[in-house]
Chains A and B, each alone.
Chain A
C-alpha cells in the first residue's frame, strides 16, 4: 500500500527542521539549501508557510519531459535513476509545484525519495504539519471540514456542566430546492 507525504500548511511554523534533516540524511551536510523540501513563506498577505515537496504524482510531469527516462514511478515513489540522469534539469521546469531543486555543488537534481518510505521530515516535524497518509485517507479532513462548514447549518449554544458548548444541525425541508 503506498503512502503519501501530505502537507498541512496551516500547521507549519516555518522552522525549517524538515529542510535540515532532509539535507543531513541525504548529503551528510548541514545545509538547508540541499534539501528536497523547502518552506516558502508569504507575508504579510496572505500569511502562509507552505512546505513544498514532491507529491510523487502517478502521472509525473517530470518523468514525461525526462529525455533519458531517468525518472520513474515505482510503487508510489518517483525515483531518479542516477545512472541515466544527464542533469538537464528539464524536470525542475516541468514540475507544476516547483518541488524539485538544484544546488551548485550537486550534479543531479535534488528530489524527494521519501527516504525509502519513512521520511525523516515527517518524523521530525514538531507540529505535525507533515504527515504520511495512506492514499485512501487523502482529503478526509478537507471533506469533513467542508461538510461542517456547510452554509445552511444552524448552530445553537448550550451549557453542559457549566461548560459552554455548541451543537450544529441542518434544518431539513426549510430551504427551497
Chain B
C-alpha cells in the first residue's frame, strides 16, 4: 500500500531574514514514515540541527519553528482540530512541542500545505499572511507591544478578514519570556515550551491563515460511516453531557478528591475551598457559553464572564483544569473571578498559565521562607491568595520588570539567583511541572521524568490508572502503561487529533486505524502506527541526547522525593528515590535504551532520509 491521499505533499518554508517563501515537496516515503504533526516537526527540527552541527540558540535566527497539523486535521471525525508547534525550546534548550486545538490547523491545511516551517528573523515586527497559495510577509511595526488579543483585532481590520485564523504573541513573547505562548482564536494557546518567545525572537507577531482547498480524503463515504460510529459512541456515553457542560473543569473536583490537586506550590495536594473554584461553581455563576474545537462534539472548553465585583466584565475562553489549578489553588487563590482574571491576563500577555502559576507559587513560598526578600520584590509584599499582587507579578514577568526579569528566564535562572529555591520549584529539564501531583503515584513521576519536553502531562497521564490500581500495581505494569501512553498520545499529535475522546470517554483507539486508512488510502494497523510513533519518541530522545541529555536529566524535583503533601489522602507520601531509579532502569530497558538512557548507536541512521 502507499499514500494515495490525505496530504498535499508539500510544506511551506519561510525564511524571515531574506523574506523568501517557497513550497518544498514531501515525498511519499517521508509522509509514510513521519505521518504528520509532531512527526514532521521532529524530523524537520532534527535536519535543521544537523545542518547547524547541533549548535542552535533557541532564540537565534537559526532555530526552525514548525507548525504541523496531521493528515486527519480538519477531517469529519471527533475532535480533529489539533495542530502542533515544534522547535528547539527556549525553556529547556531541548526538543519542544505544544499543540493547540481550535481551528488554526484546519485553516492551515485548507491553504494547501501539510506543514509550515519558519526560520530567520524579520528586520521589523511582521506578520506572515498565508492566503491560500499566496503568502506574504507584511511588516506592521505598530503591533509592537500590543497584547495577543489586541493584535488579533488590529490584524483583522488591517487585512480585512473576519474568517482568517490568527496565531499571535503578546508582550511576553516579544520580551522573550521563556514560557511565552502563542495565542489563537482569542484564547487557545500553544502554551508550553516557549513558542511565544521563539516567534518574538524572529520579530514575528502573528501568523494569519486563510484557506479554502478541499482536504484530501481517500474514501469519504467509509470515512463518514466510521466517524458516525465514533460520534454515536461518544453521544451515548454517560459522561458526555457532563463534558459538554463542565468540560475539563470537572477535573478539579476529581483531583481534589484523589489528592492530586496542587495547592500552595505543591505544599499540599488538596484545597480546602475547592468548591469555590470547581466546575459546579463555574456553571452556577460564570459560564455563558460552550466552546468547541473543530468538529468536536464534546466541547470541553467554556466561555466565562465575571458579572460583578472588581473583575466584572472579564470574559475568557476557559479556564480548563490546568489553568484553574495553577492560577487558583497553587497560588492560594480561592476566588473564581480572580482565576478568570489571571487567565485572561495570561492570554493577553501571552504567558503560559501552567508555568506562570507554577513559578509564582514558588516565588510566594520562597518569600514566605525568607529566601526571597522584600527588597527582591521591589517592596511589594506577596502572599497566598493575594490576587492583586499575583496579577501584578504576572505583568512584571511579561514586561521583565524587577524580579519579573529573573522569573521570565525560567526556573533554572531563579535557582541560579537563589540556590535554595531549588528545593521549592518543581521542574524537569527546565520545564515547570503541570498540575497533577506525582507524589501520589510513581508512574506519574516516571511520566514527568521521561517526557521529552519536560515535566508536562501531555505525553503520559497515568495518574488516574495509578489511583485505581493503588499499591498493588506492579512496576512492570507501571512502566508499560507510561510507555503505552507515550506512544499512543504522541500518535494523536502526529495524526492531528485530540486525545480526550479516548482518554476521557474511552473511544476505542482502533477507530484511528480506520480513520488513517480512509483518509490516506494507506493501510496500517494500529500497532504499525504505534511503531511509527515509537520511532518518533526515539527521534526526540536522540535530539535531546545530542543536546546533552542523559540519565541525570530524567530526574525528579526535590519536593517529589522529600516534601510530602501536608493533608489529604496522599498526606505524607513521597516517591522513593531508589524505587524511582529501578523504574527508570526498567523503562530504559523496555525502550531498548542503555542504562544511561541512550538509544542504540544505529538509531540515528533510521532518520537519515
Which of chain A's residues 84-130 have a Cβ closer than 8 Å to chain B? 103-105, 124, 126-127
B292 in contact with A104 (CB, 8 Å):
no
Closest residue of A by beta carbon distance from B79: A15
Pair B291/A13 contact, Cβ less than 8 Å: yes
Q: How far is the CB of A164 from chain B (nearest CB, A)?
A: 12
In the complex, A162 has a CB within 8 A of chain B: no
Residues 38-97 (chain A) with a chain B CB within 8 angstroms: 40-41, 43-45, 47, 49
Interface string of B203-220 (1 = CB under 8 A from A): 000000001111111001
**With A and B bound together, what is the CA distance between A105 and B235 in angstroms?**
34
Contacting pair A29 B220 (CB below 8 A): yes
CB distance B220 to A126 under 8 Å? Answer: no
In whole angstroms, what is the CA distance A40 to B162 when docked?
9
Roughly how many angstroms separate A87 CA and B84 CA in the complex, as a whole number? 40
Cα of A172 to Cα of B17 in the assembled complex, Å: 76
Query: Most chain-B CB neighbours within 10 Å: which of A15, A33, A104?
Result: A15
Complex CA distance for A64 and B34, rounded to whole angstroms: 54
Q: State whether B220 touches A45 (Cβ < 8 A).
A: no
Cβ of B315 under 8 Å from chain A: yes
Contact of B186 among A34, A44, A124 (CB under 8 A): A44
Q: Please tell me which one of the listed residues B214, B216, B289, B295 contacts residue A16 in the complex, with CB atoms under 8 A apart.
A: B295
B290 touches A127 (CB 8 A): yes
User: Distance (Å) between the CB of B341 and the closest chain A CB?
Assistant: 13
Segment at the interface with B among A20-28, A137-145, A148-156: A20-28
Q: Which of B215, B223, B303 contacts A47 (CB 8 A)?
A: B303
In the docked arrangement, what's the CA distance between A11 and B244, Å? 11
Closest to B223 in A: A30
In whole angstroms, what is the CA distance A28 to B223 when docked?
11
Q: Is the CB of B76 within 8 A of A15?
A: no
Interface pair B220/A10, CB less than 8 Å apart? no
Report chain A residues within 8 Å CB of B292.
Answer: 13-15
Interface residues on A, range: 20 to 34
B74 touches A33 (CB 8 A): no
The dominant DSSP class at the A interface is loop
Residues of B within 8 A of A2 (CB): none
Determine the distance from Cα of A11 to Cα of B288 in the docked complex, in whole angstroms: 10
Given contact pairs A21-B76, A24-B76, A126-B235, A33 touches B110 in the complex (Cβ within 8 A): yes
B288 cross-chain contacts in A, Cβ below 8 A? 47
- B397 near A: Cβ within 8 Å? no
Is A17 in the interface zone, CB < 8 Å from B? yes
The reply to whether A15 and B294 form a contact with Cβ atoms under 8 Å apart is yes
How many angstroms between the C-alpha atoms of A24 and B219 in the bound complex? 12
How far, in whole Å, are A13 and B291 apart by their CA atoms in the complex?
4
Q: Specify which of B75, B149, B162, B297 lies most central, judged by the most chain A CB atoms within 10 Å of its CB.
A: B297
Q: Which residue of A lies closest to B313 (CB)?
A: A45
Alpha-carbon distance A28/B292, docked complex (angstroms): 24
B293 at the A interface (CB under 8 A): yes
How far in angstroms is the closest Cβ of chain B from A37? 14
| Given A30-B76, A126-B297, A127-B290, residue A47 in contact with residue B214 (CB < 8 A) | no
Q: How far is the CA of A30 from the CA of B224 in the complex (A)?
A: 10
Residues on the B chain within 8 Å of A47, using CB: 288-289, 303, 305, 315
Interface centre among B103, B214, B317 (most CB of A within 10 A): B214
Which residues of chain B are within 8 angstroms of A105 by Cβ–Cβ distance? Answer: 214
- Per-position 1/0 for B334-345, Cβ under 8 A of A: 000000000000
Q: Which of B211, B235, B295, B315 contacts A15 (CB 8 A)?
A: B295
Q: How far is the CB of B307 from chain A (nearest CB, A)?
A: 13
**Contact between B110 and A31 (Cβ–Cβ < 8 Å)?**
yes
Q: Which of A10, A32, A45 has the most CB of B within 10 A?
A: A32
Q: Mark B289-328, 1 if CB is under 8 A from A, else 0.
A: 1111111111100010100000000010100000000000
The distance in angstroms between the C-alpha atoms of A43 and B186, with both chains bound, is 7
Given contacts A10-B289, A44-B315, A47-B303, whether A30 and B186 have CB atoms under 8 Å apart is: no
User: Interface digits, B264-294 against A, CB 8 Å rule (1 contact, 0 not)?
Assistant: 0000000000000000000000001111111
- 25 A–B contact pairs at CB < 8 A? A11-B290, A13-B292, A15-B293, A16-B103, A17-B76, A21-B76, A24-B76, A24-B220, A28-B220, A29-B215, A31-B212, A31-B214, A32-B106, A33-B211, A33-B212, A34-B214, A43-B185, A44-B186, A44-B315, A47-B288, A49-B289, A49-B291, A126-B299, A127-B244, A127-B299
Closest 8 CB pairs of A and B: A126-B297, A15-B292, A13-B290, A13-B292, A13-B299, A43-B186, A33-B212, A31-B214
Inter-chain pairs besides A13-B244, A43-B187, 13 sampled, C-beta below 8 Å: A11-B290, A15-B292, A15-B296, A15-B299, A16-B103, A16-B295, A30-B214, A40-B162, A43-B185, A47-B289, A47-B305, A105-B214, A127-B290
A interface residues (Cβ-Cβ under 8 A, vs B)? 10-17, 20-21, 24, 28-34, 40-41, 43-45, 47, 49, 103-105, 124, 126-127
